Structure 1
Amino acid sequence: MTALSVNLNKIALIRNSRDTRNPDIPRHAQICIDAGADGITVHPRPDQRHIRVQDCHDLAAMLTVEFNMEGNPMTGPRQSGRRGVSDYPGFMALVKEIRPAQCTLVPDGDNQLTSDHGFDLKRDGDIVAPLVQELQALGIRTSLFMDPDPEQIRLAAQTGTDRIELYTESYARAFANDGDVEAVLQRFIKAAEVAADAGLGLNAGHDLDLHNLPLFTRVPNLLEVSIGHALTVDALSMGLSRAVAAYQRALGKTVPDAAA
């Protein structure tokens, strides 16, 4: 069945609003694992606005589930300028230090509030392909953040990547705003079929939540969803353990309710 990878960025964002370790990132990762999460995702950005360099090292030292690191492979080193916060070594350098099970390459810019588009591989394919090969040579499974565009997905296969992660905001927006959900969902189903034909594994993520996730499971061959913002919001009222369990049930799994 589809694996649930919990993104811890928003938990780190809460911590960073104070000069403290609370909420502690490894401890909350363990809560997610104990509640049944199949993986943990982080997206360390150069400004370290949420997940920081040290968090990645701390998580790598304690995780017993799959670790997925997301980020723009073109971002280089940055000085943090903040007391107690390590300098950012560049995304690829950090991944090489950590050696996560999976690395999801995302074409986000420094000034983006969040990831908001997939790769344009007509433009960047020749840059991305060697990065994919570099990661795979280290034994790291690679995934590219992609829009549900069949032409672009076929180009993704040409880079040699193991998987793609479909950017699902258009589906979530249609679901929330009474749009033509079925028509949008069919775009993702078609994209999944193209990915399968090209030999690509399929992940998905962005604005998936307890309401729209059950319908999205109609997308075939879906190996993993990465969910952070909505799950963290639900955890405020449900408790983190119960939120993780609820998302597993939304994926169609039979899991008991967890303690709050």
Structure 2
Amino acid sequence: MTPVHPPAPHHRTALSVNINKVALLRNTRHLGIPDVLRAAELCLQAGAQGITVHPRPDERHIRKDDVYELAALMKDWPDREFNVEGNPLQNLMEFVRNLSARGLPLHQCTFVPDGESQFTSDHGWSFPDDAARLKPLIEEVHGRGVRVSLFMDPLPEAMAAAKEVGADRVELYTETYARAWGTVDKDKVLNQFALAGRAAAAINLGVNAGHDLNRDNLAEFIHAVPGVMEVSIGHALIADALELGYSATVAAYLGCIDNAFTVA
């Protein structure tokens, strides 16, 4: 019997929890702890609207089996979303095809142009350079009924190019904002993201955001950038959960999102 869970709370910006760092800690031993599935379930129980993973070819954190086991878990949460990130020129399309073949849920696929040995994602796609190779892959993902988001730098002029190749959304790479937060450069940097958000909205391109967002900088970002549909947060959220626990941490981040819409 499928468990009955309370519906996801209504927020104007959805919170998707990236659990890569839970897997990274688990992989330092052979004991299976902390449990990746349990972490995802606790975040969903606390009200997160989605779960994100970014399985890299070297499996340094999320492993292949994790992706399929998490997708199976998401069947018990039909009002939540499963987002798988990665480079479609490496291993990402394997997961898209296999999840589809197994009848497992995948709601969003985020294309990220990271190299196999890259420490972490640190730049977005480049247009027109990447257009020809992305377009057929986006079409394939759409053919499987899955939404596509492209990881992008906050360049207003690039939003039309992302739309042109078929992207449903862009995920704005927010590390530059996180680095500038609390400095004299913050307003200038944040305005660049706001301009990118407006450019996307003008052509009905959805906007997600992620990378180094945290409890300090999240509300201000969402307040300033119009129409952010989803934030994907991993490192800071999991670090906070080590001190606060998953439930209290997810509640705190959802509170940040709510606060973004109450700022005068």
Which TM-score applies when normalising by structure 1? Answer: 0.90
Residue 174 of structure 1 deviates from its aligned partner by: 0.1
Aligned to 2:171: 165
| Number of residue pairs aligned between Structure 1 and Structure 2 | 239
Q: 1:186-240: CA deviations, max 9, x gaps?
A: 1011000100112211100000000000100121111000000000111111111
Q: Could you tell me how far apart the structure 2 residues matched to 1:45 and 1:34 are?
A: 27
Deviates more, 1:18-27 or 1:29-38: 18-27
Of 58, 71, 86 in structure 1, the residue corresponding to residue 86 of structure 2 is 71
Alignment of 1:43-192 (within 5 A): 43-63=54-74, 64=77, 65-75=80-90, 90-99=91-100, 100-176=106-182, 178-192=183-197
**Deviation of residue 20 (structure 1)?**
2.2
**Secondary structure at the residue paired with 2:82?**
strand
What is the letter of the counterpart of residue 34 of structure 1? Q
Report what 1:216 is aligned to: 221
Mapped to 1, the partners of 2:231 and 2:153 lie a distance apart of 15
**CA deviation after TM superposition for structure 1 residue 24, in Å:** 1.1
Distance of 1:143 and 1:232 partners within structure 2: 23
Match of 2:103 in 1: none
Question: What amino acid sits opposite 1:98 in the alignment?
Answer: L
Aligned to 1:258: none
SS in 1 for 2:181: helix
Separation in 2 of the partners of 1:236 and 1:62? 23
SS at match of 1:122: coil
Query: SS at the partner of 2:89?
Result: coil
Q: For residue 70 of structure 2, give the secondary structure of its aligned residue in structure 1.
A: helix
Assess if the C-alpha contact under 8 Å between 2:56 and 2:86 holds in 1.
yes
- CA distance in 2 between counterparts of 1:223 and 1:41 reads 15
Q: Is the 8 A contact 1:122 1:152 kept in 2?
A: no
Question: Percent identity between the aligned chains?
Answer: 52
Q: After the TM superposition, which segments of 4 or more aligned residues of structure 1 sit over 3 Å from their partners? A: none
Please name the residue that 2:210 is paired with: 205
- TM-score by length of structure 2 reads 0.88
Indicate the RMSD between aligned Cα atoms, in angstroms: 1.2
Gaps of 5+ in 1: 76-89, 255-260
Alpha-carbon contact 1:234-1:243 (below 8 Å) kept = yes
Instruction: Tell me if the contact between 2:219 and 2:259 (Cα under 8 Å) persists in the aligned partners.
Output: no
Q: Which runs of 5+ in 2 are unaligned?
A: 1-11, 101-105
Aligned to 2:16: 5
Q: In the TM superposition, what is the alpha-carbon distance from 1:242 to its structure 2 partner?
A: 0.6
CA deviations on 1:104-162 (whole Å, 9 max, x unpaired) are 00000012110000001221111111111110010000000000012222110100111
Partner of 2:240: 234
Mapped to 1, the partners of 2:58 and 2:259 lie a distance apart of 37
8 A Cα contact 2:83 2:109, kept in partner: yes
- Equivalent-residue separation in structure 1 for 2:27 and 2:96 (angstroms): 22
